[in-house]
Chains A and B, each alone.
Chain A
């Protein structure tokens, strides 16, 4: 898959524009949550990137932070990029919403909010639960979620 990752020279250009951008590997970058929205806007609207589809949006609960993961695809240029945002605040995690850029963020952000409990600032209205019932307490994909049952 490596040959479809965003070319390194294009990643370097991004680094100049966004000081918080950090290259984590081939086709994987991390950015601060303050610069997430401007970076995504650039990636979508600049024709040399042309990332017109946000394919995947998910989050991971690490011991010291949450990480929100975005997978972007450019259909015209056929390249890929994974963007990550670390959220240090484990009490009230929040990242900017990308609904203004991609429609596919609307349901995926709701899913992350529902299962992982990460708030998306700027989401039209407020993200609501999508898979679980409104009355459900907690966010099951968090590592500290206490659940009954299982195999034992």
Chain B
């Protein structure tokens, strides 16, 4: 019998794309023959806009890349400028950065875990994750006054010290967190239907993951130990005792499960950082007008989605000559077209969701 393939358009307005993202699927029955990913619907030209702003003015733009983990985006950018200017950040500021950075990572992973549950068809898990994410946002609001676009980092430190009411609230949250994670594991991870939909689906072999530049939980789910906090510790991460969870099969299930494990590890780091929080200034001595010397710097940090890098070129003026952001979501998404081939159309949603992309970051 003669058969032919047909084209199915998915997105850009599709809830499971977690933003505005389009995939053009060529299908043979319900099997994907070829997929074409079309990003760019949220492109704002942040790299171009940065060239017409002063160095500190770029910080709020970085918030708007991965808006689910804005603290970490701030961090990547200021790390590059600090490297360029040779600024030594005070210890207390480094500890505060670790605390708010890891809180941001928890918030981001809670969205990843919750929305993935919805993608697979379980609405309940989503509600539990968002209930608890609210508590993280409350904490970050105490620190920065904002719930989403924090702009809390400064070149040379952080904007403000942690308020006194922050510590008891954080303590209570960290106390509850392990049992909350158990709850997600019971509700979502252990669910039979969830496992049937995600186990051995969308497998990424480790060598392919490395070749395609995948980083973060997506790479570690394939069993590759590559977490900048561990392999090339920056800031004060070498002082904390934590583990890097690794997956075994590199399938959707591993990519999902690893995020809950990372939440548990982040809680461990925060606990140690709070206990060891030194006294002292929260800002280095930086000039009132930031004017880095002529030159360039490339710095990387471990964001919740993977390695977030920032390349800054200075011509000696108050505005950056060129800024480039290495966004992990963008590069992780580069493998999607190949990954989808051969899977059924229902798996497309499962695979895309497991990569945990944020379109603000993909499109930049």
Q: Taking beta carbons and an 8 Å cutoff, which residues of A are in contact with B?
A: 1, 4, 52-56, 58, 60-61, 69, 71, 75, 78, 82, 102-104, 106-108, 111, 115, 129-133, 140-141, 145, 147, 150-151
Contact = CB atoms under 8 A, between A and B. Distances in A.
B72 to A, nearest CB: 17
Interface stretch (B120-128, B130-138, B325-333): B325-333
Contacts of A131: 39-40, 43, 363-364
Given A53-B210, A130-B40, 10 more contacts: A1-B232, A1-B299, A58-B311, A102-B212, A103-B334, A107-B334, A131-B363, A141-B47, A141-B48, A150-B52
16 contacts: A1-B299, A4-B232, A52-B211, A55-B307, A56-B324, A58-B324, A60-B322, A78-B231, A102-B211, A102-B213, A106-B334, A107-B330, A107-B333, A115-B47, A132-B40, A140-B45
* Highest count of chain B CB atoms <10 Å: which of A53, A60, A129, A141: A53
A151 B299 CA distance: 29
B252 interface: no
Nearest to A112: B324
Interface string B327-364: 00011011100100000000000000000000000011
A132 B43 contact: yes
Interface string B163-174: 000000000000
B313 interface: yes
Contacts of B48: 140-141, 145, 147
B309 interface: yes
Interface residues of B, number: 38
Interface string B35-59: 0000110010101100010000000
Interface string B279-313: 00000000000000000001110000001010101
Interface of B: 39-40, 43, 45, 47-48, 52, 83, 208, 210-213, 215, 224, 226, 231-232, 234, 298-300, 307, 309, 311, 313, 321-322, 324, 326, 330-331, 333-335, 338, 363-364
Contacts of B224: 75
A82 to B, nearest CB: 7
Contacts of A56: 298, 309, 311, 324, 326
* Highest count of chain B CB atoms <10 Å: which of A52, A131, A133: A131
A102 B210 CA distance: 9
A58 B330 CA distance: 13
A52 B43 contact: no
A127 to B, nearest CB: 13
Nearest to B324: A58
Contacts of A78: 231-232
Contacts of A107: 330-331, 333-334
Contacts of B40: 129-133
Nearest to A104: B213
Contact of A61 (B208, B311, B322, B326): B322
A52 B211 CA distance: 6
